[in-house]
């Protein structure tokens, strides 16, 4: 959700910033821009489209300090004038976040004689800073920020200063020190290979960054000295290996994620304390957005079996305005790959404010959600670059399954580890996924159906397909079809039916018959040989997965659906790593 970078050092700022922006592009790819400062002048290049579009103009950007931005449009369409940096007087600014009172501020600034050059909310910030400036950059930023409502991560360049300043509230900023200079970025991966140590700025903090070092200040303007951590290998630059896209590479890392997450859980989580907390809870509420919410849905089912209290899943964006009535005995489980999703953070804060115990399930150990949570359950998926979440979802499922296992945790972990070998083989499948992808690509709409534990997987499979292929899709319980949606079924619609629970298989097959009788097309994914046998030749495709207990078959079926979504996107010529209109890590509301 917009990426910002800053650099001040001995190298060429334009090159440093360009390479940082390339790594942050997954956060938004509507437009990109860079400003540098050299001998008291600002230089700016910005345009709509991807970061690569800046490459030919890097030579115009003199200097060894600057800031850069890659945008996910919120206010104003994706064009050149709405691209960041925004410039006013001596200042250039890049922003990640949303300014909610920008309309009032814009009117006030217009009345004071400012002419706006963009439709963005961000432009008001640079104009406010310029109007507040009296020789002290941080002072001007502090005065300007005091007028803002919303959330922001800012990097600001001033013609009078050979460095840059950063500020944050609600959106992340990491600062780092390297051999050739000092850096700032929205995430640590942009600093990997360049900075040797880093620090995550605290809420409300600001920093002044020059080639010589980084000074950090708290919201009151007092200098503070937060600890810097070493940038370790796990943040190293990730490539696509031999895969054509990150999405495929990351699906192929599902098995590794299952093993690593199990290992970390068993070695680092105080299982007794966790079980005690869950068993004394008066209610357990899981919150998340998108794929993380779909993992929360699955978690609610399995925790519901294991715990005596009511367990539910809530979309975090809804929970923040209509929060469940938490007490000090309640548990809120915040599920988030990035740990920076604004809605999830707010829902977790509300739960914590009400005295509930907050447990974070996250892939990013230094993220904001870890600072809200009492307990962190690490997902060990490694960097997930593709905007569509795949391996992180699998890792979230591992954490939730282990959490729900209670005293049988060793047994559950063994079962998951055994399945990881099957997931590994499955992820290299080309045949079945391609057959079903061809059916999807020819369909007007695709429904994903299942019963019991297959329902949540179907819902996630549907989200995956729609986000990377742009085909309309929906996922829900197979038994619901006849209550309305069956009206949509005809020969242009495909239904992908998951059948992994022997106890519910015949009920699911009823739905298949209902679809076939309306000339609908069906693809079945099952772990049950007798189901595959019965449907072979009657439906368009049958994918028989390895056998698995129904409650953990999700690791196999989810992997299969991820592969189908990926293959469909590729068949339709979409970029699965950067789907249109989307960005990873949604740090605005």
* Residues tagged active-site: 2, 584
Total binding residues for ligand M6R by CB under 6 A?
Answer: 16
The arrangement of strands across the sheet holding 357-362 comes to 311-315, 284-288, 331-336, 357-362, 375-378
Burial of 403 (0-12, 13-18, 19+ CB in 10 A): buried
Q: Which is nearer to ligand M6R, 131 or 375 (CB)?
A: 375
Contact pick of 254, 526, 585, 587 for ligand M6R (by CB under 6 A): 585
Whose tokens are 């290299």? That residue is 428
Q: Which is nearer to ligand M6R, 217 or 393 (CB)?
A: 393
Total count of residues recorded for the chain: 589
Q: Which is nearer to ligand M6R, 391 or 451 (CB)?
A: 391
Q: Which is nearer to ligand M6R, 17 or 292 (CB)?
A: 292
Least distance in angstroms from the C-beta of 67 to ligand M6R: 25
Q: Does 292 bind ligand M6R (CB under 6 A)?
A: yes
CA distance 190 to 238: 11
Q: Which is nearer to ligand M6R, 95 or 584 (CB)?
A: 584
- Across the chain, how many H-helices and E-strands are there? 18, 25
User: Is the distance from CB of 169 to CB of 152 less than 8 angstroms?
Assistant: yes
Q: Does 291 bind ligand M6R (CB under 6 A)?
A: yes
User: Is the distance from CB of 363 to CB of 386 less than 8 angstroms?
Assistant: no
CA distance 376 to 448: 32
Q: Does 290 bind ligand M6R (CB under 6 A)?
A: yes
Q: Which is nearer to ligand M6R, 274 or 345 (CB)?
A: 345
Q: Does 170 bind ligand M6R (CB under 6 A)?
A: no
Each residue 3-22 as x (binds ligand M6R by CB under 6 A) or -, in order, gives: --------------------
Segment contacting ligand M6R by CB under 6 A, of 236-244, 271-279, 290-298, 322-330: 290-298
For residue 232, give every residue at least 6 positions away whose Cβ sits within 8 Å of its Cβ, in sequence order, or none: none
Least distance in angstroms from the C-beta of 269 to ligand M6R: 20
Q: Which is nearer to ligand M6R, 36 or 291 (CB)?
A: 291
Least distance in angstroms from the C-beta of 361 to ligand M6R: 9
Least distance in angstroms from the C-beta of 481 to ligand M6R: 25
Task: Tell me which H or E stretch contains 47.
Answer: strand 41-48
- Buried b / exposed e over 547-581, threshold 16 CB at 10 Å, is ebebbbbbbbbbbbbbbbbbbbbbeeebebbbbee
Three-class DSSP category at 260: helix
Picking from 318, 491, 304, the residue whose alpha carbon sits closest to that of residue 404 is 304
Least distance in angstroms from the C-beta of 563 to ligand M6R: 14
| Structure tokens that stand for 214 in this block | 């980084």
Q: Which is nearer to ligand M6R, 172 or 178 (CB)?
A: 172
Segment contacting ligand M6R by CB under 6 A, of 136-144, 487-495, 556-564, 578-586: 578-586
Window 462 to 521, contacts with ligand M6R (CB under 6 A)? 467
Q: Does 388 bind ligand M6R (CB under 6 A)?
A: yes
Q: Which is nearer to ligand M6R, 74 or 341 (CB)?
A: 341
Three-class DSSP category at 540: coil
Segment contacting ligand M6R by CB under 6 A, of 70-78, 226-234, 287-295, 532-540: 287-295
Q: Which residue is nearest to ligand M6R (CB)?
A: 290
Contact pick of 166, 262, 289, 453 for ligand M6R (by CB under 6 A): 289
DSSP string spanning 267-330?
A: HHS-HHHHHHHHHT-S-EEEEE-HHHHHHHHHHHHHHHHH-SS-EEEEEHHHHTTS-----TT-
Segment contacting ligand M6R by CB under 6 A, of 169-177, 189-197, 217-225, 382-390: 382-390
Segment contacting ligand M6R by CB under 6 A, of 16-24, 156-164, 284-292, 424-432: 284-292
Least distance in angstroms from the C-beta of 353 to ligand M6R: 20
Window 294 to 353, contacts with ligand M6R (CB under 6 A)? 336-338, 341, 344
Least distance in angstroms from the C-beta of 454 to ligand M6R: 19
Q: Which is nearer to ligand M6R, 150 or 339 (CB)?
A: 339
Least distance in angstroms from the C-beta of 582 to ligand M6R: 6
CA distance 336 to 219: 27
For residue 573, give every residue at least 6 positions away whose Cβ sits within 8 Å of its Cβ, in sequence order, or none: none
Segment contacting ligand M6R by CB under 6 A, of 274-282, 286-294, 403-411, 504-512: 286-294
Q: Taking the CB of residue 239, how many other CB atoms lie within 10 A of it?
A: 10
CA distance 553 to 419: 9
Picking from 1, 2, 71, the residue whose alpha carbon sits closest to that of residue 30 is 71
Segment contacting ligand M6R by CB under 6 A, of 94-102, 387-395, 474-482, 539-547: 387-395
Contact pick of 446, 528, 586, 588 for ligand M6R (by CB under 6 A): 586
Contact pick of 387, 515, 528, 548 for ligand M6R (by CB under 6 A): 387
Task: Tell me which H or E stretch contains 395.
Answer: helix 391-405
Residue 544 Cα distances to 327, 484, 521, 531, angstroms: 46, 29, 18, 9
Residues that bind ligand M6R (CB under 6 A): 289-292, 336-338, 341, 344, 387-389, 467, 582, 585-586
């Amino acid at each position: 959700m917009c990426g910002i970078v800053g650099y001040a050092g001995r190298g060429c700022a334009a090159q440093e910033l360009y390479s940082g922006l390339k790594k942050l592009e997954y956060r938004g790819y509507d437009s990109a821009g860079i400003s540098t400062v050299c001998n008291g002048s600002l230089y700016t290049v910005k345009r709509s489209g991807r970061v690569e579009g800046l490459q030919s103009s890097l030579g115009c950007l003199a200097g060894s300090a600057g800031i850069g931005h890659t945008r996910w449009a919120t206010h104003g369409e994706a064009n050149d004038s709405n691209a960041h940096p925004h410039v006013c007087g001596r200042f250039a600014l890049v922003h990640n976040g949303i300014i909610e009172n920008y309309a009032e501020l814009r009117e006030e600034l217009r009345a004071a004689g400012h002419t706006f050059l963009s439709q963005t909310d961000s432009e008001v910030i640079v104009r406010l800073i310029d109007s507040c400036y009296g020789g002290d950059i941080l002072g001007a930023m502090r005065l300007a920020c005091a007028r803002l409502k919303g959330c922001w991560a800012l990097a600001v360049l001033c013609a009078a200063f050979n460095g840059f300043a950063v500020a944050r509230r609600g959106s992340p900023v990491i600062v780092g020190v390297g051999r050739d200079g000092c850096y700032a970025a929205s995430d640590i991966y942009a600093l990997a290979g360049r900075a040797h140590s880093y620090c995550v700025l605290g809420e409300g903090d600001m920093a002044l960054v020059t080639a010589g070092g980084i000074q950090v200040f708290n919201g009151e303007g007092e200098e503070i000295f937060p600890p810097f951590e070493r940038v370790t290998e796990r943040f190293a630059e990730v490539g696509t290996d031999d895969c054509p896209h990150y999405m495929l590479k990351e699906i192929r890392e599902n098995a590794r994620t299952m093993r690593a997450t199990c290992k970390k859980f068993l070695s680092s989580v105080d299982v007794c304390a966790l079980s005690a907390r869950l068993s004394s809870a008066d209610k357990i509420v899981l919150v998340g957005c998108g794929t993380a919410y779909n993992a929360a849905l699955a978690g609610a089912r399995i925790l519901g079996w294991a715990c005596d209290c009511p367990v539910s899943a809530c979309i975090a964006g809804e929970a923040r305005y209509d929060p469940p009535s938490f007490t000090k005995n309640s548990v809120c489980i915040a599920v988030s790959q990035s740990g920076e999703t604004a809605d999830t953070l707010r829902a977790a804060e509300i739960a914590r404010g009400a005295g509930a115990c907050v447990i974070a399930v996250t892939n990013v150990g230094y993220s904001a959600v870890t600072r809200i949570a009492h307990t962190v359950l690490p997902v060990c998926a490694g960097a997930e670059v593709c905007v569509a979440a795949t391996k992180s979802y699998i890792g979230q499922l591992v954490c939730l399954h282990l959490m729900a296992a209670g005293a049988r945790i060793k047994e559950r972990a063994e079962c998951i580890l055994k399945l990881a070998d099957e997931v590994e083989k499955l992820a290299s499948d080309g045949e079945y996924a391609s057959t079903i992808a061809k059916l999807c690509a020819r369909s007007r709409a695709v429904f994903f159906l299942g019963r019991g534990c297959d329902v949540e997987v179907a819902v996630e499979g549907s989200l995956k397909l729609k986000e990377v292929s742009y085909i309309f899709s929906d996922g829900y319980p197979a038994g619901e079809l006849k209550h309305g949606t069956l009206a949509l079924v005809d020969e242009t619609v495909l239904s992908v039916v998951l059948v992994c629970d022997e106890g519910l298989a015949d009920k699911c097959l009823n739905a298949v018959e209902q679809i076939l009788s309306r000339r609908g097309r069906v693809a079945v994914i099952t772990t049950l040989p007798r189901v595959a046998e019965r449907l072979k030749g009657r439906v368009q495709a049958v994918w028989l997965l390895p056998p698995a207990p129904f409650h953990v078959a999700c690791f196999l079926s989810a992997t299969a659906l991820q592969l189908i979504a990926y293959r469909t996107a590729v068949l339709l010529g979409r970029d699965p790593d950067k789907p249109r209109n989307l960005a990873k890590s949604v740090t605005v509301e």
